[in-house]
Structure 1
Amino acid sequence: MNLTPYVDNLRQELAVAADAGGDEARALAERLTTPLESAFRLTLLNALSAAMSEVTRELAPGSVDVRLRGLDPEFVVTPPPAPELFHETQALASAPAAPASPTPPTDAEADDGAMARINFRLPAHLKGRAESAAAAEGLSVNAWLVRAVSTALDGGERVSPPGRGKSAGSRGFTGWVR
């Protein structure tokens, strides 16, 4: 982005304002505009950086960065990752046939560390029941829901991670970490 037209516009506006003060004010304004050019550019760059910070907050996880190339800023736009589209017909066609009996996950499968995030909307009355059930078993709602989904998919077999649940006592931790 070329800042020169904006700096020239500020210079012209200062000259117009100085004309109202007479010849002496006009001469002073002409002497000040050249040294103030770098201050004009820096102020414009600060305004652009602040604006791009606001855009980045709205665009997250995408971003807009302002980089200085010579005397002029350059914008670098990093769009948010495109969501992968999932087509049910493709999934059904490419999915292997389900095994005759469900197999419980091995320890390596259950604790491989890979996680996927989903948004899950639950009616308020079910949310309250899920929270109560999770608390009764000493689990977070997330851990309880993971176990419930696993149980449903594994044909009713309950697989509980080691060190969790009522018998775990105070060894379990829940919460967010940054």
Structure 2
Amino acid sequence: MNLTQYVDQLRQELAVAAEAGGDEARALAERLTAPLESAARLTLLNALSAAADEITADLAPGSVDVRLRGVDPEFVVTPPPAAEPFDAQAEYAALMAARPTPPPPPAAPDLADDGGTARVNLRLPAHVKARVEEAANRDGLSVNAWLVRAVSGAVDQPEGRAGRADTAGAAGGRREAWHSGTGFTGWVR
């Protein structure tokens, strides 16, 4: 930045002011012009430095510095770092990595012990069937394999957590209900 034009403007303003005071004031202004040029440059540098400090405070973390090269100042602007673009995939991956992993599902029952299988017809309300299908898909199992695992898990619970209650049906038939102490989980005829 060239300060000479500003110092010259100040010199002209001093000369105009001295004209109003007569010949003695004009002569005094001419004698003071040379020593005032250095003081005017120093005052302008101080003003520019203060302005750069204020701009830096508003620009943080960027900055503006005033450097003196010869007799003229130079501004050095350091912009704030560019914000990284939002990466939705990276954000999703970070969220998934921070998510707690669910406990592993119970092991599939070992059907090799008895060597055979039995067929059971099970009637479920439509909304329960839909939930069973969703759970089986979520676990990567067929509905049958998921039901076998769920029934095996319920049957294999310790006696303190799940027991069997026998009740007589309306027609004198026998019903068995598996319960956990707080409610029934299913009925079998």
Q: Under a length normalisation based on structure 2, what TM-score does the superposition of the two structures give?
A: 0.49
Q: What are structure 1's unaligned runs of at least 5 residues?
A: 103-178
Q: Residue 20 of structure 1 aligns with which residue?
A: 20
What is the alpha-carbon distance in structure 1 between the residues aligned to residue 98 and residue 77 of structure 2?
A: 44
Q: Residue 33 of structure 1 aligns with which residue?
A: 33
Query: Does 1:77 find its partner at 2:77?
Result: yes
What is the alpha-carbon distance in structure 2 between the residues aligned to residue 2 and residue 39 of structure 1?
A: 16
Number of residues of Structure 1 aligned to a counterpart in Structure 2: 103
User: Taking structure 1 as reference, are residues 91 and 40 closer, same or farther at Cα in structure 2, changes over 3 Å only?
Assistant: same
Q: Percent identity over the alignment?
A: 75
Q: CA deviation at 1:63?
A: 0.5
Q: Residue 8 of structure 1 aligns with which residue?
A: 8
Query: Does 1:58 find its partner at 2:58?
Result: yes
Superposition map of 1:122-141 within 5 A: none
- Aligned partner letter, 1:59: L
Q: CA deviation at 1:24?
A: 1.0
Q: CA deviation at 1:94?
A: 10
What is the alpha-carbon distance in structure 1 between the residues aligned to residue 23 and residue 52 of structure 2?
A: 41
What is the alpha-carbon distance in structure 2 between the residues aligned to residue 75 and residue 58 of structure 1?
A: 16
Higher relative contact order (CA 8 A, sep 6+): 1
Q: What are structure 2's unaligned runs of at least 5 residues?
A: 103-189
- Aligned partner letter, 2:41: R
- Aligned partner letter, 1:26: R
Q: CA deviation at 1:101?
A: 3.7
What is the alpha-carbon distance in structure 1 between the residues aligned to residue 96 and residue 12 of structure 2?
A: 72
Q: Residue 128 of structure 2 aligns with which residue?
A: none
What is the alpha-carbon distance in structure 2 between the residues aligned to residue 42 and residue 17 of structure 1?
A: 22
Q: Residue 140 of structure 1 aligns with which residue?
A: none
User: Taking structure 1 as reference, are residues 92 and 31 closer, same or farther at Cα in structure 2, changes over 3 Å only?
Assistant: same
Q: Under a length normalisation based on structure 1, what TM-score does the superposition of the two structures give?
A: 0.52
Q: Can you list the C-alpha shifts for 1:74-130, whole angstroms capped at 9, x where unaligned?
A: 00001111111122046558999899947xxxxxxxxxxxxxxxxxxxxxxxxxxxx
Q: Can you list the C-alpha shifts for 1:13-50, whole angstroms capped at 9, x where unaligned?
A: 00000000001110110111011111000000000111
User: Taking structure 1 as reference, are residues 96 and 36 closer, same or farther at Cα in structure 2, changes over 3 Å only?
Assistant: same
Q: Secondary structure at the match of 1:33?
A: helix
- Aligned partner letter, 1:73: P
Superposition map of 1:89-100 within 5 A: 89=89
Q: Can you list the C-alpha shifts for 1:122-178, whole angstroms capped at 9, x where unaligned?
A: xxxxxxxxxxxxxxxxxxxxxxxxxxxxxxxxxxxxxxxxxxxxxxxxxxxxxxxxx
Report the structure, 1 or 2, having the larger helix content. Answer: 1
